[in-house]
Chain A
């Protein structure tokens, strides 16, 4: 097993097929990264929004105690 290309330029060009191969690679890597980061962001946002809601409930309870009695 050895490296198939002698220079960066050769790997980029791939004897004329470079534009096709690298387009496929770039788009795929972009989509795969997007799929991985999306739930991470949503996970944090969900926990935050639940925490904000809990704080709001607590404040409402503090200013208006009989509402929840």
Chain B
């Protein structure tokens, strides 16, 4: 029963070299798609989408705020799952992915808070309120920074990996709180614009560029996560033959003619 199942793909996935070489082939396409979607989505949303009847033009910040917030949250799951895979199967590649996701997630969470604050001023009359949604996003930022800090807090890489993964897993409690905060508490933050279970509350002309931007941010996230992980692979595998070969090929130093 299932014992004959082929698991080689899973082990191959755990090989840093396989990851490095495979993603190297995807990167040109991923770069092109990401940049094209970002430019199209931004120009469409900022200049061509109709303005909101109540909020006027300030609502255009949604084309940044919602996509970066989406990925700030989804990225936390990716980081926590990578940490869990590392703890359970001791897969070193997944610890590298976890570490690569932390600065990326922290930057996106910062952007979610920043664009939210700048949007809050013309809409609510204030940059910041200690409301449930916003405060739980701030906690998310600290969790990302905590995972990152723990990576550098120990002499042993292995201890740092385990400590980061534990914090990442414990912190997942915060994610459903963020999602549900607008329903559970009475908050200033408006309810979710997009729900999987119901039709969007936006006009299609406003909604389409938002979808493009969300897609663009997913591609952006994948791109940067892959780029970060490749750097991490080079640094942690620097003693291996294949990385040394790569360095030799890239080397343009004086005595390598």
* A interface, CB within 8 angstroms of B: 1-5, 11, 14-18, 20-21, 23-25, 27-28, 31-32, 34-36, 39-40, 42-44, 46-48, 50-55
- A5, A20, A46, A50: the one contacting B244 at CB < 8 Å is A50
Contact between B250 and A47 (Cβ–Cβ < 8 Å)?
Answer: yes
* B interface, CB within 8 angstroms of A: 38, 42, 46-51, 56-58, 60-61, 64-65, 68, 104, 107, 110-111, 114-115, 118-119, 121-122, 205, 220, 223-224, 227-228, 230-231, 234-235, 238, 243-244, 246-248, 250-251, 253, 255-256
Contacts of B58 in A (CB 8 A): 14, 17, 20-21
CB of B250, distance to nearest CB on chain A (Å) = 4
CB of A32, distance to nearest CB on chain B (Å) = 7
Contact between B118 and A24 (Cβ–Cβ < 8 Å)?
Answer: yes
Question: SS class of chain B's interface: helix, strand, loop or mixed?
Answer: helix
Give CA–CA (A59, B104) in the complex, Å: 39
Contacts of A39 in B (CB 8 A): 224, 227-228, 230-231
CB of A59, distance to nearest CB on chain B (Å) = 8
Contact between A28 and B256 (Cβ–Cβ < 8 Å)?
Answer: no
